[in-house]
Amino acid sequence: MKFEVKVVIMSIIFSIVCMFVFTYASSFTQKTIYAYQVGIYKEASNKDAKLAELKESGIEGYCYKKDGQYYVLSMISEDQKKVEKHAVDMKGIMKTYVVSSDTTVKTLLDNLSKGVIHD
């Protein structure tokens, strides 16, 4: 086989490997988190009332504060179907966040409150 043909074949293989690495390698270090938002409140008392209502229903509830408003979430999960099933019983909206694979719920809430993750 001629040298030029070998160079072309190696270039094609290298290009395919690079495409794979740049396209899919970053997805191995990321995960998607689904959150179900059930309210935005200016008053802390309203946020507390909603969290108490969720607790009475057996739902843990989460909250973060951003730009002077309290955002109340009824569920945070990596399981989209679980959040969609939860949405049948709740009035709200589902949010999706693509984050690094080591992100915890606390880190997500901290980042949301700082505006690091745009919602």
pLDDT in tens, 15-34: 888 777 777 666 677 889 99
Kindly report the number of other CB atoms within 10 A of residue 49's CB atom.
14
Q: Using a cut of 0.75, tell me whether the model's pTM lies above it.
A: no
Domains of the chain: 30-114 (3.30.70.1070)
d(CA 49, CA 45): 6
pLDDT in tens, 29-55: 788 999 999 999 999 999 999 999 999
The closest of 94, 63, 97 to 81, measured between CA atoms, is 94
